[in-house]
A and B are shown apart, each in its own frame.
Chain A
Amino acid sequence: MSEAKTGIDRETVDQVANFGGENYKYGFTTDIDADKAPNGLNADIIRFISAKKGEPEWLLEWRLDAFERWQTMQEPDWAHVDYPKIDYQDLCYYAAPKSMEDGPKSLDEVDPELLRTYEKLGIPLQEQEVLAGVRKVAVDAVFDSVSVGTTFREELAKAGVIFCSFSEAVKNHPDLVRKYLGSVVPQSDNYFAALNSAVFSDGSFVYIPPGVRCPMELSTYFRINEANTGQFERTLVIADRGSYVSYLEGCTAPMRDENQLHAAVVELVALEDAEIKYSTVQNWYPGDADGRGGIYNFVTKRGDCREARARISWTQVETGSAVTWKYPSCILRGDETVGEFYSIAISNNLQQVDSGTKMLHLGRNTSSKIISKGISAGRSSNAYRGQVSVHPKAANARNFTQCDSLLIGDKCAAHTVPYIEAKNISAVLEHEATTSKISGDQMFYCRQRGLDPEEAVALIVNGFCRDVLQNLPMEFAVEAQKLVGISLEGSVG
């Protein structure tokens, strides 16, 4: 029987080995004239970026301050990832389609080549008629360093919702930006956050006024196109008192042999009784089967439940990138605040993932929940790293953590690194963890019922991820479910 089992595992391993990056659907490049900064990083480049964007003096100072701090910092090496040293002087920090030189235009004026790009990616940049049963989704599309358009702005404006590119927010809503920028992730928070603070180009800005329930899903779609260019977007979402917003971001990039750096910062602020649901479907180019190329995804995401009864929920489906370093976190500052983290991280071939969350309980009666599902295939490495920390004043803090790993084949690795610190005696913290393999018996059972190996693995993995997939907005759950199958394609058939 053991031989029978090894046989099926062997087969799965071979199938995984056959899977190369060529299955990546979004690997095309768009041929478009770009306006690029010269390679290298210094104060002049930062002035160049700031001038390109016509920024006020305070923001330039803020960037230069971040740059100064970054120069004194060391690249972190504690994560369970391994990649060649990045030459920060050999990167381009700003690239924009030439046609966007005069800033965002109305959607009618956007370069048709760009519109075609988004169409190919399945992202509607026309404000399409709503199909029966499907809610509207407003989209902000970020191409390399700039936003090329945002849909449904007028309809959102009627509700008082501000949804625009970060650059526009700096121009049109400077007080809000100045008040909240860096208030959750300070400039010197970590090496990559400092780098982002110095050179960030564009991203999305969201403000939901008090008592408003945002009338549609908001989403930002990030696309890296230019070669040898980093993407450093900055997203800021503010939910004022008693408001609600659900926001989704998606990411893709062309297939290239060189690695590309993506170092984003996302800051969420939820005030009293406000709720933010933030979902990510990350599908950056993962590199090919031999680990050539792919995106380095070094991202800082943090939400601040700043006032009482605020709630922030992170949901992520991470399937892309060569190396991922990402820990969407919640600061539970207000009393009775709630933080949630639902994650699916899939690694195949030579992908490396070090991801997880931090839940910092500061207020009283705060609670948090962490559900993490890691799936490793090929020769990949997949680590969950999490911190649950209860402050001395955080009476009656409550955390539940469930951390499950699924292994496909016998050359991959799964690691779990939970840190739990309770400095208040009333805290109740639970941690559950499992590690399992797809068994040869399960595969045989499915195949005996007519499923080919690819369908069988997709079905079993989707079942494994079910608790998390259920938390995605309905519009994206189906897409994410398919993505889970595609990412493991070949492991599979």
Chain B
Amino acid sequence: MALLEIENLHAGVDDKAILNGFDLTIQAGEVHAIMGPNGSGKSTLSYLLAGRDGYEAQNGNVRFDGADLLDMEPEARAIAGMFLAFQYPLEIPGVTNMTFLRTALNAVRRGRGEDEMDPASFLRMVREKSRAMGVDDDMLKRPLNVGFSGGEKKRNEVLQMAVLEPRLAILDETDSGLDIDALQTVADGVNAMRSDARGMLVITHYQRLLDFIKPDFVHVMVHGRIVRSGGPELAEELERSGYGAYLGAETGGQGNEVGAAHA
């Protein structure tokens, strides 16, 4: 059974069609990258998958681990193992990073019928994982994302991902606003989490991130659907030639190649 199966997804915001017959299948162990120009519907896709209010599918199916994803509340999706690394992580004043991590982990564990983690084991686990992400004790004690730099916010998102150990991680423009060193740290954190049991969906505008996180599959998204799929070489091609060739092509026959990536 596929980890994530999206079929013919249609969605819009304020009567404007944004997703237009979107199809994608991700198997456990695969890393997929979606690339596309601004306005192609990449962020809408990630919000819709995570269950943000106001993002409703008008047509189509999404199955996550066999379950009907679109029927689930956002927290139920998180408990089922879906994680969205936000493009713009939110600030929560007065709630320390550490408290947030503990609350989230325990909420997810409770939701899965597991016991909460005891404080000592939790602390040990977080210390270990935060060291790997270059998140120091001071950053764990600060209120969540308040006054964090762009790089700190993104590193913190990946730390949350490492703590929550999702089955499917969606990274929404995780490279935006990062300098090269921060990009390396974030990519190292993501790469360390690649495993046969986990799927990843990396959404990005630029090819740069994919030099650090090597995807198994690359998809080009234009006007709300995938217009071409291929291997990592597709990203390099895009870097050279840009999206221009695709912008008029969304009704063309290249959609046939979508299935080929999984053949």
**Chain A residues packing against B (C-beta within 8 Å):** 1, 3-5, 7-8, 11, 439-442, 444-453, 455, 459-460, 462-467
Contact = CB atoms under 8 A, between A and B. Distances in A.
Given A448-B78, A449-B104, A460 B92 contact: yes
Given A4-B13, A4-B53, A448-B83, 12 more contacts: A1-B13, A11-B53, A440-B53, A442-B92, A444-B53, A448-B50, A448-B51, A448-B77, A451-B75, A452-B107, A460-B92, A465-B94
Q: Output the residue of B99, B107, B160 with the most chain A CB within 10 A.
A: B107
B212 interface: no
A133 to B, nearest CB: 14
Contacts of B103: 451, 455, 459
Q: Output the residue of A4, A7, A445 with the most chain B CB within 10 A.
A: A445
Contacts of A442: 90, 92
Contacts of A4: 13, 52-55
B13 A449 contact: no
A463 B14 contact: no
B79 interface: yes
B73 A447 contact: yes
Contacts of B73: 447, 452
A7 B53 contact: yes
Contacts of B107: 449-452, 455
Nearest to A465: B94
B164 A3 contact: no
Interface string B73-107: 11101110001101001101111000110011101
A379 to B, nearest CB: 23
A440 B74 CA distance: 13
Contacts of B105: 450
B92 A459 contact: yes
Contact of B90 (A7, A445, A459): A445
A462 B89 contact: no
Contacts, number: 93
A3 B92 contact: no
A445 B79 CA distance: 14
Interface of B: 13-14, 50-55, 73-75, 77-79, 83-84, 86, 89-90, 92-95, 99-100, 103-105, 107-108, 111, 143, 160, 164
A444 to B, nearest CB: 5
A236 B94 CA distance: 35
8 contacts: A7-B53, A439-B90, A448-B86, A449-B107, A449-B164, A462-B95, A463-B93, A466-B95
A445 B52 CA distance: 9
Contact of B74 (A5, A447, A460): A447
A463 B94 contact: yes
A463 B92 contact: yes
A460 B14 contact: no
A96 to B, nearest CB: 44
A4 to B, nearest CB: 3
Nearest to A453: B75
B94 A462 contact: yes
Contacts of A439: 90
B54 A451 contact: no
Given A441-B90, A459-B103, A450 B53 contact: no
B164 A450 contact: yes
Given A450-B107, A455-B103, A1 B94 contact: no
B94 A8 contact: no
A455 B105 CA distance: 13
B104 A464 contact: no
Q: Output the residue of A3, A442, A450, A455 with the most chain B CB within 10 A.
A: A450
A445 B14 contact: no
Nearest to A404: B93
B257 to A, nearest CB: 32
Contacts of A444: 50, 52-53, 74
Nearest to A438: B92
B36 to A, nearest CB: 19
Nearest to A447: B74
A309 B105 CA distance: 47
Nearest to A445: B90
A463 B95 contact: yes
B137 to A, nearest CB: 19
B95 A459 contact: yes
A453 B53 CA distance: 12
B93 A464 contact: yes
Nearest to B170: A448
Nearest to A443: B53
Nearest to B52: A444
B143 A463 contact: yes
